[in-house]
Chains A and B, each alone.
Chain A
Amino acid sequence: MKIIVCIKQVPDTAEVKINPETGTLMREGVPGIVNPFDTFAVEEALCLKEKFGGRVTVLTMGPQQAVEALKEALAMGADEAVLLSDRAFAGSDTWATAYTLALAIRKLGAFDIILCGKQAIDGDTGQVGPGIAVQLAVPALTYVSRINRVEPDPAPGTIEVERVLDEGRETLQTGLPVLLTVVKDINMPRLATIIDIRRAVRMKIPTWTAADLAGADPEKLGLEGSPTRVITICSPPGRGGTVDMIPAERADEAASVLVEKILAEKIL
């Protein structure tokens, strides 16, 4: 079974502090991490490989240092990794990102399953996964919380998954090849051992540029190919005012003060 995982390196928001005076983000020295949802995608790929055999390829698009994210995936057990990095890709929005990743996936050849995290924690769009699927003309099953069954035979095979929607869980079946985006409760990602990490560090990771992607239309890459433009960025308005602290010497008194205040807000 040929499995491809698309991952993204994101700033570790756990390390991000907000400057209390200016309300802006303080990101100095914030390390890059693998987008947490993508680690579930890598883990699921490895589980599928353990069950069906095959090969797991990890793909990311980003600056040179995004290679660190790929090494983490290799340390977890992925077989190979490719970095897409080129000035021509810079400034890609979700459309151009999906377009570029899809070109790279075509270059990798036939596949059975593409796995992505449900969204990245910096952009929070969740658009790139479905975008890749449309570019490759394969079905996309989003927000997958469980792979119930994969039947590789008869070729090209079928898959049955459970996915999370706003009102409940849906069971879906579709044909392979397929793209899945996964949510947090699908699995518990394994931790790489020191030996794995050492092995991953030694593995060669090729960098592909626009010139390596057959059929890439330069007008559809990077900022040029992106339909959307960010025009301003600002800090959200604060919640304003300060907290009204209710004395807590006696619980029932504190509760009764709070109940009155909430009732006075007329929201219940």
Chain B
Amino acid sequence: MAIVSVNGETCIGCGACVDACPFGALVLVDDVLTVTDKCTACGACLEICPLMALSLPETVKGPAPDLSEYQGVWVWVEQFGGKAQSISWEMMGQGRRLADRRKAALTACVLGHDVGRIARQAVDYGADRVFRADHPGLAVYRTAPYAAVLVDLVRRFKPEIFLLGASLRGRDLAGSVATELYTGLTADCTGLEIDPESGLLRQTRPAFGGNILATIICPRHRPQMSTVRHRVFEMPPADPARQGQIIDVEPQLDEARIATRVLNFVREYTEVNLTEARVIVSGGRGLGGPKGFEMLRELAGVLGGTVGASRAAVDAGWIPYEHQVGQTGRTVRPDLYIACGISGAVQHLAGMNTARIIVAINKDPAAPIFGVADYGIAGDLFQIVPALTAQFRARLK
């Protein structure tokens, strides 16, 4: 699948791209660069080449489609149990900024049952217009009816940009909606900018477990859709005096044709909810067993935080999977992350290295976790953690 092409006259065989390729698809044989079929057209090599000898094919065939009828920025307001999720308002802040840049309106889509208050809040947080789909069949999130309502609205009102939260529901919903609409969807964005020349949305997201940042555009399909990572963007201020239009839409739901039923919901992450947590006290192999986590729970309790864990601790059965931070667990972005007895494998770092302040406590002063930490103590966590708990308790009273 060699896609990247090499200009043999320009290439000097320096090999810079060989190291840059995330897939090992570029090979130098006798100073001649070959692209193997591992190439996925990711583009990582293009900018690395000092001589611009690499290129991707221009696949744009025919005249550019007329996209001018697609206007405005939309945000899906996720709600659960009658309350809007904070990610929704964070996106309203971004949506407002993008809409102003495009000199267009910001629209919020509020789906649920008895969601009048949330619709009003959407105006407070910056919406010029709210589509409110209020229906008993939408009370609890289900992919098919939610996607049907949004797809119908997009087809009728043609937004240019559509943002959804990168929560589990948001990713589930966005994947369905974008597929149905045949448009581009960029997952888990941490940066959204309007390109000043083309007016396109430049969507930046981490990939490879956070080891690289990719910037992605959607040039010929609309709307340009993104899911947006939680706790990356500031919450905008709510202004109860703001004016906005709330439009009721009648969802056409035929329960007989919706196959899926929600039978039960067990709220269990009130203690764990890592993605929302402002403080996380996390433990790894250095804790030596499940008892070590009791000590962390106490510290987390004093700090108003929650307990996380490395994969090693989860795999050892010391703590359930829902606490796992890292590539195969949760990606977290707390204000304070205290890593206790965690060595700091790349996969763990990928899940927490965007925390505001990272504290590492580990016996081994050479542990990689200290490489990303702001504060470190190379010592015995069984002495330091209880001392921290006692002192924070005294100071935070």
- Give how many A residues have a beta carbon under 8 Å from the other chain's beta carbons: 97
Docked-complex contact B211 and A235, CB < 8 angstroms: yes
Docked-complex contact A64 and B37, CB < 8 angstroms: yes
Secondary structure dominating the interface of A = mixed
B363 nearest CB neighbor, chain A only: A248
Nearest Cβ on chain B to A223's Cβ, whole angstroms:
5
Residues of B within 8 A of A262 (CB): 336, 357, 359, 375
A131 nearest CB neighbor, chain B only: B179
Residues of B within 8 A of A37 (CB): 328
CA distance A259 to B357 in the complex (A): 13
Docked-complex contact A174 and B171, CB < 8 angstroms: no
B residues 1-41 near A (Cβ < 8 Å) are 1-3, 18-24, 36-41
CA distance A18 to B353 in the complex (A): 14
Binds B, one of A106-114, A159-167, A194-202: A159-167
Residues of A within 8 A of B208 (CB): 11, 13, 16, 25, 122
Docked-complex contact A24 and B220, CB < 8 angstroms: no
Docked-complex contact B265 and A227, CB < 8 angstroms: no
**Known A164-B168, A262-B375: A124·B184 in contact at CB below 8 Å:** no
Query: Is A190 close to B, CB under 8 A?
Result: no
CA distance A267 to B336 in the complex (A): 7
Per-residue interface assignment for chain A, residues 222 to 247, with 1 indicating a CB less than 8 Å from any chain B CB and 0 otherwise? 01101111111111100101011110
Contact of A131 among B21, B175, B207 (CB under 8 A): B175
Nearest Cβ on chain A to B327's Cβ, whole angstroms:
6
A18 nearest CB neighbor, chain B only: B211
Total cross-chain contacts (CB, 8 A): 328
Nearest Cβ on chain A to B5's Cβ, whole angstroms:
12
Nearest Cβ on chain A to B395's Cβ, whole angstroms:
6
CA distance A108 to B105 in the complex (A): 46
CA distance A250 to B303 in the complex (A): 22
**Known A251-B380, A256-B391: A230·B169 in contact at CB below 8 Å:** no
- Give how many B residues have a beta carbon under 8 Å from the other chain's beta carbons: 124
Residues of B within 8 A of A239 (CB): 353, 358, 372, 374
Nearest Cβ on chain B to A61's Cβ, whole angstroms:
10
Residues of B within 8 A of A98 (CB): 179
Binds A, one of B89-97, B110-118, B125-133, B256-264: B256-264
Residues of B within 8 A of A27 (CB): 19, 21-24
Docked-complex contact B357 and A267, CB < 8 angstroms: yes
Residues of B within 8 A of A227 (CB): 182-185, 218, 220-221
**Known A243-B376, A245-B377: A142·B172 in contact at CB below 8 Å:** yes
**Known A14-B347, A130-B175, A259-B388: A164·B215 in contact at CB below 8 Å:** no
Docked-complex contact B41 and A91, CB < 8 angstroms: yes
Per-residue interface assignment for chain B, residues 50 to 61, with 1 indicating a CB less than 8 Å from any chain A CB and 0 otherwise? 000000110101
CA distance A241 to B268 in the complex (A): 38
A residues 119-156 near B (Cβ < 8 Å) are 121-131, 133-135, 139-143
B residues 331-366 near A (Cβ < 8 Å) are 335-336, 345-347, 350, 353, 356-360, 365
Residues of B within 8 A of A64 (CB): 37
Docked-complex contact A244 and B184, CB < 8 angstroms: no
Docked-complex contact A223 and B378, CB < 8 angstroms: no
Per-residue interface assignment for chain A, residues 19 to 50, with 1 indicating a CB less than 8 Å from any chain B CB and 0 otherwise? 10000111111100000110000000000000
Nearest Cβ on chain A to B63's Cβ, whole angstroms:
14
Query: Is A53 close to B, CB under 8 A?
Result: no
A residues 154-190 near B (Cβ < 8 Å) are 160, 164-175, 183-185
Query: Is B188 close to A, CB under 8 A?
Result: yes
Nearest Cβ on chain B to A232's Cβ, whole angstroms:
5
9 contacts between A and B (CB under 8 A): A13-B346, A26-B19, A134-B147, A143-B172, A173-B260, A229-B218, A231-B216, A248-B378, A255-B390
A contact set with B: CB distance below 8 Å:
11, 13-14, 16-19, 24-30, 36-37, 62-65, 85, 87, 89-91, 93-95, 98, 121-131, 133-135, 139-143, 160, 164-175, 183-185, 223-224, 226-236, 239, 241, 243-246, 248, 251-252, 254-256, 258-259, 261-263, 265, 267-268
B contact set with A: CB distance below 8 Å:
1-3, 18-24, 36-44, 46-47, 56-57, 59, 61, 80-81, 143-144, 147, 167-169, 171-172, 174-176, 178-180, 182-188, 202, 206-221, 259-270, 273, 275-276, 278-279, 303-304, 320-322, 324, 327-329, 335-336, 345-347, 350, 353, 356-360, 365, 370-380, 383-384, 387-388, 390-392, 395-396
